[in-house]
Amino acid sequence: MITVVYCTRQPKPEHTEHLIKSSGLHKHIEVIEIINNGESLTKAYNRGLKQAKNDIVVFCHDDLTIETKQWGNKLIKLFERNPEYAIIGVAGSKNMPASGQWWENPKKMYGRVAHTHEGKTWLSAYSDDLGQTIEEVVVCDGVWFAVDKNRIKKTFNENVKGFHFYDVTFAFENYLEGAKVGVTTAIRINHQSIGMTNEAWEKNRVDFSEAYQAHLPANIKRTLRKGEKLNVLIGCLSFANFTGSELYVFELAKQLIKQGCEVSICSNIGMPMAALAKPLGIKLYSLQEPPGFKLGDGQWLLKTPQGDVPSQPNTLYNIAPTNFDIIHLNHKPVTEHLMRLYPTTPMISTIHSEVIALEEPVISDSIKSYIAIRPEIKEHIVKNFGINEEMVSIIYNPIDADKFKPINVQQKRDKKRILFVGTIDYLRKATIQDLINLTRENNHELWIVGKKNDTYLDEMIQNESHVTYYEPTANVEKFIHQCDETAGILLGRTTIEGWMCGKAGWIYDVDSSGNILSKDLHQVPSDIDKFNSKTVAGMIMEEYKKIIE
């Protein structure tokens, strides 16, 4: 049923016995021991491949133990359940760089292999446990791998001399010919040594890189397995108050957590947002010390080859690796900051406004996709910044449908009430003044809710008895339920939250100085579910899947 081929300098009957007993196949396993006195592994393995009586052939080192009981039966089932795979190993990578070092990008590696050396044993966990699934790769390591003779397209390339790159070349040539190569963690081994490079390895690496330069780098796009978690870092300028972009980040993070992601936020962190996020399992980091980095203060010591040295004040040090699958960026300065720190991690950028300089898109190869929260923003960044429209998706603000929904409450009042929610700043000044005038002239009430980033409001409403101001709140839905209509600039959160509660909304179109270009009352749209935070997060997850590597 299975043949095992291994090379050794001296006979190792105990290794043969271990392979037979651990396989669980008894008489149905063939072991071919090749005594190698200098012959290249490619030639030796081709002889073993030709001599093998079975279709499934395992090639392995002579200094390992297989820790999985009944591994032979497991391997047979792996090939039976995955007829598209020709080669299955225990360690490999989705990426083969031009350098020929397949472990160059740890994020692309898969497998779990134990090592024992000088009395110490440890697990090299290149990836999470894959369960019973197989992860497709471009190359696999030669410590242990299996092939189906009827599915491989190439045998071992005997132009590869010695004991290095026989495995990489074999797997890569089969990959190029369309034979599928995979990694499993269902079979565990303990390698009784550690991999070492030397001059012979370096020569074969150079030869490999030159021979296949037309095909390098090679990369297989990652696909999420069922139950696999994405590790997401969201960057934004501020995560403290209830402004539009802060609520965007909070609602998105909350839904991503519900969908099984690990979520971290890097921002200027503050209350009350921090108090809402932490109980949900959202990790919070300051922009001054992003994940994996620490700010020098002249006190804590930095380990160097020359010994411990004091950290330099206000210098940012990379002290630990990070494993984010994707970075979701917001706001230009934060985008530029995090791009410098995590240059190899795939990134996506949300643009929240077409009239604020802070929201100008950053153009970079690191940013694989852009999200515009309304159609006008997509038109703006495509037209004015030359971004390919195929790179821009329109995905609206995420709104919590459990909070913002119609309620059947009969409310009696003499005057119509309009609610304006938004930051009190230069961009909204003309709109607020127009609303004050409009509601006064029509004998309506005006409620204003928002953070005062400017000083004009107190004077503006001083003699306006029909206007009431409220501090920003996390429970803005309570205000919406007590109003007849909402008002806001552009298509922002206030309008959408009002729609979700069944309220019509005034949308003021303004320019970059806040000058009013137009205003219209918009009724609740029929496709309201596109604003549901669960729907929005699902759409954003699909964008993540398109660009993760």
Give 331-392 as a DSSP string. SHHHHHHHHHH-TTS-EEEEE--SS-GGGPPPP-TTEEEEEESSHHHHHHHHHHH---GGGE
Contacts of residue 35, defined as CB under 8 A and 6 or more positions apart, other chains included, come to: 7, 8, 9, 10, 11
Please report the pLDDT score of residue 163 as a whole number. 83
Report d(CA 549, CA 545) in Å as an integer.
9
Q: Which of 106, 212, 198, 199 is nearest to 169 (CA)?
A: 212
DSSP 8-state symbol, 396: P
Q: End-to-end alpha-carbon separation of the chain, Å?
A: 37
Strands 139-140 and 91-93: antiparallel
- Is the domain covering 2-219 a CATH 3.90.550.10 domain? yes
Q: Which of 111, 15, 105 is nearest to 63 (CA)?
A: 15
pLDDT at 410: 65
Can you give the pLDDT at residue 383?
97
Domain 231-398+534-547 matches domain 417-530 at the CATH topology level: yes
Indicate the fold that domain 231-398+534-547 takes in CATH: Rossmann fold (3.40.50)
Alpha-carbon distance 267 to 236, whole Å?
A: 5
Determine the residue type at 480: I
7 to 35, 43, 61: CA distances (angstroms): 6, 11, 7
Going from N- to C-terminal start, the domains of the chain cover: 2-219, 231-398+534-547, 417-530
For the chain, how many residues are written? Answer: 549
- Predicted confidence at residue 512, as pLDDT, reads 94
Please report the pLDDT score of residue 226 as a whole number.
Answer: 77
pLDDT value of position 225: 78
Taking only the tens of pLDDT, the chain with its 549 residues reads 999 999 999 999 999 999 999 999 988 999 999 998 888 999 999 999 999 999 999 999 999 999 999 999 999 999 999 999 999 999 999 999 999 988 888 889 999 999 998 889 999 999 989 999 999 999 999 999 999 999 999 999 999 898 889 999 999 999 999 999 999 999 999 998 877 678 888 888 999 999 999 999 999 988 887 778 899 999 999 999 999 999 999 999 999 999 999 999 999 999 999 999 999 999 999 999 999 999 999 999 988 888 889 999 999 999 998 989 999 999 999 999 999 999 989 999 999 999 999 999 999 999 999 999 999 999 999 999 999 999 999 999 999 999 999 987 666 778 999 999 999 999 999 999 999 999 999 999 999 999 999 999 999 999 999 999 999 999 999 999 999 999 999 999 999 999 999 999 999 999 999 999 999 999 999 999 999 999 999 999 999 999 987
Going by C-alpha positions, the residue among 135, 158, 30 that lies closest to residue 87 is 135
Q: In CATH, what is the architecture of 417-530? A: 3-Layer(aba) Sandwich (3.40)
